[in-house]
Amino acid sequence: MVKICCIGAGYVGGPTMAVIALKCPSVEVAVVDISAPRINAWNSDQLPIYEPGLDEVVKQCRGKNLFFSVDVEKHVSEADIVFVSVNTPTKTQGLGAGKAADLTYWESAARMIADVSKSDKIVVEKSTVPVKTAEAIEKILTHNSKGINFQILSNPEFLAEGTAINDLYNPDRVLIGGRETPEGQKAIKALKDVYAHWVPEERIICTNLWSAELSKLAANAFLAQRISSVNAMSALCEATGADVTQVSHAVGKDTRIGPKFLNASVGFGGSCFQKDILNLVYICECNGLPEVAHYWKQVIKVNDYQKTRFVNRVVSSMFNTVSGKKVAILGFAFKKDTGDTRETPAIDVCKGLLGDKAKLSIYDPQVTEEQIQKDLSMKKFDWDHPTHLQPTSPTAIKSLQVVWDAYEATKDAHAICIMTEWDEFKSLDYQRIYDNMQKPAFLFDGRNIVDVEKLRGIGFIVYSIGKPLDQWLKDMPAVA
């Protein structure tokens, strides 16, 4: 029986290993983590992450061939294949601060693997890491190996949150990078055999190590670039009276471009896009390619611009002040169908509004008050450290309230900001909401999910990203 151990029971490690266990009954999978609360949650009915379909998969396999444990060393020493899926935060201090990946957690995992191993192992990079990390890890392992043979593979994960289970069942591709030596090729084959239980062979791409590492950064950079491109267009649409949805539709009909990832929004979030692009930028700079670095940096700059533009639009439409005004924030997660708030645009928008002294009332169907308070008190890039998974007691921000109902959040509010495209926000009773709001009642849709004309009919002043403005907004231009 092949034994797999995954270090890191997070958004990537948890669902990926659960699906491997489900699809490969002959493989024993142990997911380990240093965070005891996380492991306890994986072993309970209340999983630590919200992901549609995940509960069922875990229920089917847990205790049979899927185990969650804090006994990291035991499971690593027994495994044939060790996946490493730990945090790779952006450095906040020292060389490369604000750009380079902090490989502290990776390095400590690698040293631990070298320490406890008594048999040959395949070590698989699962978390996105800068190109050539595998080489560094290989060095740590071989210099501490005590004669044990380690083969390093890069097997980046392409699942998106909210659709993780489906993405894992039907991946567009599985990418495995390894050394071009006979031992390297043997290791690639061993991992390929695991995926071949359910993924058609032609979708399993095998490359060298660097190509696999770089492909992951490149894929995320390309996806994010599409969003920044359409968001840049949204600003031009508002200035000229075009409708960004119509433009995206027309552009996406070109089969060379395709329709996906062309939805204008208040900005992209999530744990990957910004971090991976910053990494790419840093790698380009280190390799003497400032023009290439500058090109990719613009993707993040446009994303930041989009969030600032949104806040400016809210404040300027409401007579240039939101001080003391109740603003309802609908949605806080970085996208629908997840409770994940890492790098969510809602953080920057809320901080912007709080900076202008607004009183916020926030509702998200999956995000807790504790998480929101933590996110709004945390510094940039501080979220990606395991310590933030432990319960802490942040200083509560007094001018915000977190409620469990959209009607409660919007009651007596001057304005509503839609930050996440949760389906339930499409079918709210907006007449009832309007009746209970202060007038004029504003609605700022950061996800383009509401029926603008219907809401204008009710009486709302509506702003929807990249859509023709109503007269009110034209008369109150946003300051750049």
CB of 235 to ligand UDX, least distance (A): 14
Judged by beta carbon, residue 134 or residue 318, the one nearer ligand UDX is 134
Residue from the set 4, 5, 6, 12 that interacts with ligand ADP by CB under 6 A? 12
Residue from the set 33, 157, 213, 238 that interacts with ligand UDX by CB under 6 A? 157
User: DSSP letters along 315-367, please?
Assistant: HHHTTT--TT-EEEEE--SSSTT----TT-HHHHHHHHHHHTTPEEEEE-SS-
User: Pairing relation of β-strands 415-418 and 400-402?
Assistant: unpaired
How many CA atoms within 13 Å lie on the side-chain side of 467? 21
Interface map 99-118 toward ligand ADP (x if CB under 6 A): ------x--xx---------
Residue from the set 20, 30, 33, 325 that interacts with ligand ADP by CB under 6 A? 33
Among 140, 122, 139, 220, CA closest to 177: 122
| Binding-residue total with ligand ADP (CB under 6 A) | 23
* Distance of alpha carbon 318 from alpha carbon 169, whole angstroms: 47
Q: Is residue 8 part of the contact set for ligand ADP (CB under 6 A)? A: yes
Judged by beta carbon, residue 91 or residue 297, the one nearer ligand ADP is 91
CA-CA-CA-CA dihedral for 304, 306, 307, 310, to nearest 10: 160
Concerning whether 6 is annotated as a catalytic residue, the answer is no
Q: Is residue 7 part of the contact set for ligand ADP (CB under 6 A)? A: yes
Whole-Å CA distances, 375 to 9, 256, 346, 347, 383: 21, 39, 10, 7, 8
Q: Is residue 23 part of the contact set for ligand UDX (CB under 6 A)? A: no
Judged by beta carbon, residue 38 or residue 467, the one nearer ligand ADP is 38
Interface map 192-231 toward ligand UDX (x if CB under 6 A): ----------------------------x--x---x----
Burial of 5 (0-12, 13-18, 19+ CB in 10 A): buried
Residue from the set 13, 48, 171, 269 that interacts with ligand UDX by CB under 6 A? 269
Q: How many residues does the chain have?
A: 480
CB 42 within 8 A of CB 35: no
Among 445, 392, 402, CA closest to 420: 445
The one-letter code for the residue type at 271 is: S
Q: Is residue 9 part of the contact set for ligand ADP (CB under 6 A)? A: yes
Q: Is residue 268 part of the contact set for ligand UDX (CB under 6 A)? A: yes
Options 84-92, 267-275, 379-387, 436-444: segment touching ligand UDX (CB under 6 A): 267-275
CB of 259 to ligand UDX, least distance (A): 9
CB of 186 to ligand UDX, least distance (A): 27
CB 276 within 8 A of CB 284: no
- Burial of 251-279, coded b for 16+ CB within 10 Å and e otherwise, reads bbeeeeeeeebbbbbbbbbbbbbbbbbbb
Q: Which does 72 bind (CB under 5 to 8 A by kind): ligand UDX, ligand ADP, none?
A: ligand ADP
The active-site residue out of 272, 284, 350, 417 is 272
Whole-Å CA distances, 9 to 48, 72, 104, 126, 250: 9, 11, 17, 12, 42
Question: What residues form the annotated binding site for NAD(+)?
Answer: 8-13, 33, 38, 86-90, 127-128, 161, 272-275, 342
Active site residue ranges = 272
Residues that bind ligand ADP (CB under 6 A): 7-13, 32-35, 38, 72, 85-87, 105, 108-109, 127, 271, 386, 389
Residues that bind ligand UDX (CB under 6 A): 157-161, 220, 223, 227, 261-263, 265, 268-270, 272-273, 334-335
Question: What residues form the annotated binding site?
Answer: 8-13, 33, 38, 86-90, 127-128, 161, 272-275, 342
